[in-house]
Chain A
Amino acid sequence: MQVWPLQFRDAGDDILLSNDAGSWFRASPQFLNRYAAGALSDDDRDYLLKTGLAFVDVGDLAFTSHAYRWSARRTTTTKAIDYVILVPTLRCNLSCDYCQVSRAAESAKGFDWTEETLTAVLAYLDGLATDRIQIEFQGGEPLLRLDLLNAVRDFCRRRFKHSRFVVCSNFQIVDDAIWSFFADEDTQLSTSIDGDVATHTRQRTGSVDETRSLLSNLETFLERFGPGRMSALPTIDPLNPPDLDELVATYARFGIHSIYLRPINRQGFARRRPEAAGELHAWNELHARFIDLIVEQNWRRDTVVEEYYFTHLLRRILGLGANGHVDIRNPNPVGANYVVVDYDGTLFPTDEARMMARIGQIDLSIGNVLDGEDRSKVDELNSASFNDQDPDCQHCVYQPFCGVDLIDDISRYGRIDLPRHQTYFCRRHLALFDKAFAMITSTDQKVQHSLCRWLGVETWPTSYSEVRP
C-alpha cells in the first residue's frame, strides 16, 4: 500500500492533513508522528485505504479516483475567451479617493473609444472561438457612453447564440435612455454600496445627497426590474469599516443576500495611499467577524445571507466544482478565457494589469484589438500560473484548494518569487482557509445551519468533525 503524500498544519490541538487531490482529514499529533516516521499502524493503513488516501496497485480504483480528483481540481471551465471586459471610456463622474481603476475627469478628451476602436473591438469579438459571450462594461463610468454600449450589445446579440451583459456603474446619474437600456433581461447592473450612508459618502460620493440619490436610483431599479438583476459590492477599508449590521441591512433592502466583501485594493492610482501597517490583519479579523455575524443572524431568520467569496472557498474545499473564479484558480492562466479591452483598444490579461500599465509600473499588455493577442507574453506569464511546484505551496495543507494571482504579486512586489507567506495573497487566504476549516469541522449547530444553507445540503456530515486518533 502507498499513501499519497500528505501536507499538514496545526488546527487547534489537532492536525489538519490533505493531499494534492484535495482529500483531507483531521488527526491527532500522534498520527502525524507515525505517518512522518513511516510507522503507521494497521488501523491507520486501513483508514487511509478505505478513505481513498492510499492505493495498492497503479490503476486500481483508489489510484484512478485520486487521479480523477487531482485532475478535476485543475481543470479550468472553458478553453476559449468567452468573457470580455470592455472599457469604452476612462471618464468618470466620481473621483473616489481609492479608485482602483485608472480614470479621467468627466470632461476630459481622448479617453473614449474612437469609431475606429469600436470597429476593431467588434471585429475582435467576432473572431472569438465561442458561441457564448459575457461582456462586462467597465470604466471610468461606462454609462457616459451608452451609444458604445448599445453598439456592442446589438452586435453580440447578432453574433453569439448566448450573450449576457453586465454594466459596472456607480449609477449616480440615470435618464430614460439608461432605464430603457436596462429593461432587457440579458443586461445586469453591478454597482458599489460601501455599507451605510456615512461610509459610502466618505469613500465615494463626498456628499450625503449624492449617496441618497444613488440609493434612490437603486430602489427604482429594484421596483422596475425586480430582484436578481442587480448585484453590488462593498469596498471596505478595514481600518475604518462600516457598521457590519447596517451593511447587511442595506444590502437586504435591495434584495441582495450574497455579499462579496472586498478589501480596498491599493493598486493603480490607489497607490497614492499605501497600505497601512496592520491593514491586512485588520481585514482578516473583520472578515471573520462578518462571517460570525451572519452565522448568528442566519440562525434566527429564514433568509440566509452569505459572503460570496467565503462560500466559493467552501465549495473549492469540498470539491464542488468551483474552479472558475479568476481570483483563486490553480492553474490560473491569464488570457485564457477572459481579457480586458482598454479605452484605446489595448488588451490586458486582467484589470489590475491595466492599472499597472496606466501608472507606468509595468506593461503587461498582451496585444490590441487590431493586431490580436501576443501569445508569447501570455505563455511567459502562464509558465508560473500554478502553485503545485511552488517551494512553499507544495508544503501547504491548503494548496489543493488555493490558487495563484501572478498579477497581484507583480503589482504589490514587482516580482512573483517572494516567499509565499510574505505575500498579501497568501496571508489573506491562510486566514480564510483557517476560518473555513474551523467551521467545516465544527459541531456547533448554528455554524452547521449556515454551512448547509450556503452549500445546499440537508445535513452536515458528522465525519467532518472526527479526529483520527
Chain B
Amino acid sequence: MNVNLEIDIPESFHAHVDAAVMRLRYLHPSWEMSKEPGLVKVTNVAASDVPTVQREVNYAIYRERIRSEGAPLRELLLKSIMT
C-alpha cells in the first residue's frame, strides 16, 4: 500500500527546505516531492518506507542547516590556517 506523506517543518528550519528538497531530488530521483510553506510532501510512498522517508527528509534539512550555518566557521578556520 502506498501513502502520501506530509512532513511538518519547524519554523527555524524553513530557510533550509529549498536546498534540502533539491538535494533529496538528486539523491532520490524517484521520490515525488513538493513543498509548501512549513511542509514537505512526498507522494506515493510505500507504507513500509514511511519512517525512512521521514528520517531522510529531516536529515537533509538538518544537513543543509549545519552546512549553511557552519560555512562562516569553515571559512574562519581556513583563513586562520592559510594566513
Contacts and interface: CB of A to CB of B under 8 A. Distances in A.
Nearest to A36: B62
A375 B13 CA distance: 46
Given A36-B62, A36-B65, A5 B73 contact: yes
Interface string A420-440: 010000000000000000000
Contact of A71 (B23, B63, B66, B81): B81
Chain A, interface size: which category? 20 to 34
A316 interface: no
A38 interface: yes
Nearest to A389: B74
Given A38-B12, A67-B77, A67-B80, A421 B70 contact: no
A439 to B, nearest CB: 24
Interface in A36-72: 36-38, 58-59, 63, 66-67, 70-71
A59 B81 CA distance: 11
B81 A70 contact: yes
Given A4-B70, A37-B12, A419 B77 contact: no
B31 to A, nearest CB: 15
A74 to B, nearest CB: 9
A419 B73 CA distance: 26
A20 interface: yes
Given A5-B70, A6-B66, A419 B27 contact: yes
A164 interface: no
A5 B74 CA distance: 8
A449 interface: no
B29 to A, nearest CB: 10
A4 B67 CA distance: 11
B73 A2 contact: yes
Contact of B27 (A6, A38, A67, A421): A421
Interface in A310-355: none
A419 B69 CA distance: 23
Interface string A17-38: 0001000000000001000111
Interface of A: 2, 4-8, 10, 20, 32, 36-38, 58-59, 63, 66-67, 70-71, 391, 394-395, 419, 421
